[in-house]
Amino acid sequence: MVSAIVTARATTVDYSRRMPVLLDLRGAKSSDVTIGTSPISELQACLHSLAEPDHHLDSQSWLMKIDASLPRELRHRLTRFAPLWARRRCRLLLPLSPPLDVEVETEIDRVAHLPEQAFVEAAAYAIQGGSFDPRGAVTRPDEFIAACEARSFSRGELARSLTDDPEAFRGILVRTLEDSVEEFFAKEWGRIQSRLRDEADQTRSRLHGLPLAELISSVSPAARPVQDGRGVRFDKLQNLTVPLRGNHIFLVPSVHGRPHLIVRGEPGFPVVVNYPVAWRGQPPSIDEVRRRLTVLSDPARLNLCRHLVNEAITTSDLARRTNMTRPQVSRHLAQLRSAGLLTSERSGRYVYHRVDVQHLMQIGVELLRVIVR
């Protein structure tokens, strides 16, 4: 999932078409890029995973363990504040200012001391979901609350508590973040911090050898340079433009953020690209997933898979079983092999084929990743 706001908040979003988020690099330079880790971003990714576990199949065992260990009162607060990180990540829980690579306590302290209006607007945008100008939470609180109630009762209640007493709201949120660090995040951050630092170091080393657009695009298969290097396109369901001119951009890797890619560009804050680190190889692009689904959509190839899933079979035997010629079977097998779904092994004079069940099952996971990314 990608989240972003353009400088002109009145921009109309057409959700009927698949459109990109465009990072406009005109006037930007390499020195505008800062690469590093952000523990509060990773904490938000963990909280999102707890709120939306179906998006994070790779972390199911960890999520179940953490959820079972949470004190009841903290679980209640996490549920209450879940709109801040469930669908649209809250800008408060991404790095607010340089430097990166600081302790989580430092980043939480920045949230605690952000000017009140900036705090309210950032929280309001996440609570409502983006279709209401967050400045209205200060100037038109009743309309803001009604817009949130239209989404859900819990969002309406959270919006009301924000507008009624912003500092009390902030105090409870900060305490919730601090308690989450103590209960589970400090241990998890100790486990993954070195991996994230290694990823940041590798990305930083590429800065010297790549043009700016290629450097930013290199962090995700969902991104690519466009307009002769004057922009980066993120293939997502928003029609938004994020200008970089006169601003800084933070490239922040995430483990628990997989498979989501977050791009944020609210006025008054640095642009943030919070990108997932590949754990077992880089996730496929949407075009690669579409190609594998196309291969499987053919009735003849799908029928071959039904024969090949339980036993290894030769080309001749497959032709006999399916009433196809050997050349026809060979062509279909080549398509399955090109999609990474077939293994073949020679035994004497014969070659035996079999469906790679693990890769076949992985297609569902990959499809989910590209949908929610």
Which of 276, 305, 332 finishes a domain?
Answer: 276
Spans in the chain with pLDDT lower than 70: 1-19, 55, 57, 237-238, 278-285, 368-373
CA dihedral angle for residue 263, residue 266, residue 269, residue 273, rounded to 10 degrees = 0
224 and 293 assigned to the same domain = no
Would you state the pLDDT for residue 63?
Answer: 87
264 and 352 assigned to the same domain = no
Helix axes 166-180, 153-164, angle to 10 degrees: 120
Would you state the pLDDT for residue 284?
Answer: 64
> With contact defined as beta carbons under 8 Å apart, do 90 and 84 qualify?
yes
Of all residues in the chain, what percent carry a pLDDT higher than 70?
89
Among the listed residues 369, 373, 325, 333, the one whose alpha carbon sits nearest the alpha carbon of residue 351: 333
207 and 337 assigned to the same domain = no
> With contact defined as beta carbons under 8 Å apart, do 144 and 132 qualify?
yes
258 and 293 assigned to the same domain = no
Would you state the pLDDT for residue 364?
Answer: 74
If DSSP codes are grouped into helix, strand and coil, which group holds residue 8? Answer: coil
Which of 229, 256, 276 finishes a domain?
Answer: 276
Bridge partners (DSSP) listed for residue 218: none
Going through 199-297 in order, the beta strands assigned E by DSSP cover 223-226, 231-235, 240-243, 249-254, 262-264, 271-276
Look at the chain and report how many structural domains it folds into: 2
Q: Provide the domain limits for residue 53.
A: 20-276
Distance of CA 35 to the CA centre of its chain: 18
Model pTM score: 0.73
Residues 6+ apart with CB under 8 A from 28: 212, 244, 245, 247, 249
d(CA 356, CA 361): 9
